[in-house]
Chains A and B, each alone.
Chain A
């Protein structure tokens, strides 16, 4: 054990900013991070044990106890549930004889829940030692468990053919499908690696930024900050070193477009990063990929190697003296909040993924305190096409204020869940038609994932654009069979509670209080005041530091606005009901002390009081 850990530590030059990589390698080797190793790491990196532990405890794919030779992570997202996750979960539990959150007594198999793994178009899906198992059925689960018992490796357990496109390349070999139904500039097959780089070396960095500004491209992660402006801020901030980050930590439930772009257009992405590097004057790029996509690692490394071989990465790119740019991959370890740019940077520095206070913004003080640009995968891909065809060409797509295209990840109740690259300006109705949804039967569409908005049919004519319905790309469709509050809103709210980093009080506490309020309503104890409380308390969530905390109440707030009747029909016709159940509240203590409760029933209590009162008056007389 010691030797392996030493080798890992040496491989990362005992650099404490590479703690994530160190922990990922050790977790992969042993199936957990043994306590003794924590001390060893701390000593080698010359940090305290607590420094290692706080990173270790933050990410949900790290563990201090063994997770089993086969660590099974079954997605628990809304879409997974809609596609029959309950049966899958039960079959796993029955076949393995252990519950979720546990490891079988022989230490062989661990069963765990995990948030959306980016496979919403092929749910229910699970990760087993990092290998993706999509489209699970109870039958398939029994096969998998049988194979596990026979000692097969996860790779040997795959039975379907490898997926389309690069999914079947020898470096990926995944049974994942791309499901690309509509292509545009980003996904277009018409792409020659290196062409855009040849073009920019003839331009000044300022001219490159001007071209991107002229395209009016805005960040595709969801927030929509103008890309050219971000680059300019970074370039103008004085510093010797700057960094380009590509944010491929897509964790918004229902989003999977970056998975497809990383699979099919990795070269395009790397070229976009190099262009960004040239424009802002950065020589180092970091591609931050969520742990769930670790099965793409060899493929991405090969793409970087090819980039070096062909001269798109490395020294003197495009023959231009001093245009140096290299990319390294940084994997996450299971934390949605790391999609927030400053949390992403913290994570890449080997720390807990807690968002930073801003200002200073990352363009001034980012990775290792140097000016840093963090761009979404899709943004960087779009840049390449903007350089090749010009900003005014790009503006010919979309609307005036929201130019270009958006790659949508569509899932839920429709015939063709998958990837659709559409121009901004489509209405929700247009998209429902395109994806084969039975429009008459659609109850609601969640636009932009849990942090977006839940809208109903009377708003399906709304337009996808930054001014109206902004989205990071996730669209989940729900038909009338779905219990919107119990199956969807509750799941989303639980997701935010689970993923909160815990730093800001409203996010840590109020999300839970609001969830409990929702449960109270769902359990038949709701009164009208509860709806007012939810609305009022939701406003307080604006005080949180980052986007996660600020948007965490949105599932409840947007459904309360657009589907108020679903709440109202569950309310009771009285002023107050706390939902408090005394019998339930004393159950644990009665069991612990072996007591039988003698509770006063409310009616009896009244008589008792009266008797007491009569007694008291009698005494006085």
Chain B
């Protein structure tokens, strides 16, 4: 039987959750025995090359590209897992949600004291750039999500236990320490 295939991505996140994945330390050697990776920043594969079993999503959706990537993940992954606060609730990026996007852009590119070189007063508008959404959306407000791993970031042990349990087809053992957040 072929190994399960895992894909991961970081949308509007800080890569902290991916760091937490790497934080499984030497178990990473066990992991590559257990699974294969497809699209992921870990192996730098940019596009899906096949159907995947598990998709891990870090970060919420702050622009149109995030939405497309997320939808792509939903299409190619049997099971989609949100990893961390930003994916589940928007997290820090969502702090802008109470401010109109126009104000945010003007503050960032025109009015802020740190703006020194923008004499033509341009807000970046190249067609290549993803378009910012009116607010940061948690992923489950866009596509159907199967599982949620809370934390900022979720502990490496929580990610590990969840992945292994899912692959072994059993319920994860979520000890108190794994889901304690203070």
Partners in one complex: yes
The dominant DSSP class at the A interface is helix
B36, CB-defined interface residue at 8 Å: no
Stretch among B13-21, B99-107, B158-166 lining the A interface = B99-107
| B47 pairs with A586, CB closer than 8 A | no
Residues of B within 8 A of A594 (CB): 125
| B144 pairs with A576, CB closer than 8 A | yes
A165 CA to B75 CA, complexed, in Å: 71
| A586 pairs with B133, CB closer than 8 A | yes
B 130-162 to A, binary, CB cutoff 8 A, 1 in contact else 0: 011111010011111000000000000000000
| A588 pairs with B68, CB closer than 8 A | no
A261 CA to B89 CA, complexed, in Å: 48
**In the complex, how many angstroms separate the beta carbon of B85 from the nearest chain A beta carbon?**
14
Residues of B within 8 A of A580 (CB): 67, 137, 141-142
A 567-591 to B, binary, CB cutoff 8 A, 1 in contact else 0: 0000000011010101011111111
Residues of B within 8 A of A586 (CB): 64, 131-134
Q: A589-B132, A592-B101 given as contacts; is B142 within 8 A of A598 (CB)?
A: no
Residues of B within 8 A of A585 (CB): 67, 133-135, 137
A614 CA to B146 CA, complexed, in Å: 29
Residues of A within 8 A of B125 (CB): 593-595
B 30-60 to A, binary, CB cutoff 8 A, 1 in contact else 0: 0000000000000000011100000000000
A613, CB-defined interface residue at 8 Å: yes
A170, CB-defined interface residue at 8 Å: no
A565 CA to B75 CA, complexed, in Å: 33
The dominant DSSP class at the B interface is mixed
A590 CA to B124 CA, complexed, in Å: 11
Residues of A within 8 A of B133 (CB): 585-586, 589
**In the complex, how many angstroms separate the beta carbon of A330 from the nearest chain B beta carbon?**
33
**Please, which residue of chain A has its CB at the minimum distance from the CB of B100?**
A588
The answer, among A578, A600, A605, for a CB contact under 8 Å with B143, is A578
**Please, which residue of chain B has its CB at the minimum distance from the CB of A513?**
B141
| B123 pairs with A587, CB closer than 8 A | no
| B123 pairs with A593, CB closer than 8 A | yes
A309 CA to B104 CA, complexed, in Å: 64
A546 CA to B15 CA, complexed, in Å: 40
Q: A582-B64, A612-B47 given as contacts; is B72 within 8 A of A589 (CB)?
A: no
| B131 pairs with A597, CB closer than 8 A | yes
A125 CA to B140 CA, complexed, in Å: 42
A413 CA to B115 CA, complexed, in Å: 60
Contacting residues of chain A (53-74) with chain B, CB-CB under 8 angstroms: none
Q: How large is the interface on A (under 10, 10 to 19, 20 to 34, 35 or more residues)?
A: 20 to 34
A613 CA to B48 CA, complexed, in Å: 8
Residues of B within 8 A of A587 (CB): 134
B127, CB-defined interface residue at 8 Å: yes
| B131 pairs with A595, CB closer than 8 A | yes
A609 CA to B100 CA, complexed, in Å: 34
> Which of B64, B72, B123, B135 neighbours the largest number of chain A CB atoms within 10 Å of its CB?
B64
A592 CA to B133 CA, complexed, in Å: 11
| A589 pairs with B67, CB closer than 8 A | no
| B105 pairs with A589, CB closer than 8 A | yes
A602 CA to B67 CA, complexed, in Å: 12
A616, CB-defined interface residue at 8 Å: yes
Residues of A within 8 A of B124 (CB): 593
A425 CA to B47 CA, complexed, in Å: 70
Residues of A within 8 A of B100 (CB): 588
A605 CA to B47 CA, complexed, in Å: 13
A599, CB-defined interface residue at 8 Å: yes
Residues of A within 8 A of B75 (CB): 609
A364 CA to B124 CA, complexed, in Å: 62
Known A-B contacts: A592-B105, A613-B47. Give 15 more (CB < 8 A). A576-B144, A580-B142, A582-B64, A585-B67, A586-B64, A586-B131, A586-B133, A586-B134, A588-B134, A589-B105, A589-B133, A593-B124, A605-B71, A609-B72, A613-B49
Chain B residues at the A interface, C-beta cutoff of 8 Å? 47-49, 64, 67-68, 71-72, 75, 100-102, 105-106, 123-125, 127, 131-135, 137, 140-144
What would 30 A/B residue contacts be, using CB atoms closer than 8 Å? Answer: A576-B144, A578-B140, A578-B144, A580-B67, A580-B137, A585-B67, A585-B133, A585-B134, A586-B132, A587-B134, A588-B100, A588-B101, A588-B102, A589-B133, A589-B134, A591-B102, A592-B101, A593-B123, A593-B124, A593-B131, A594-B125, A595-B127, A597-B131, A599-B64, A600-B68, A605-B71, A609-B47, A613-B48, A616-B47, A617-B49
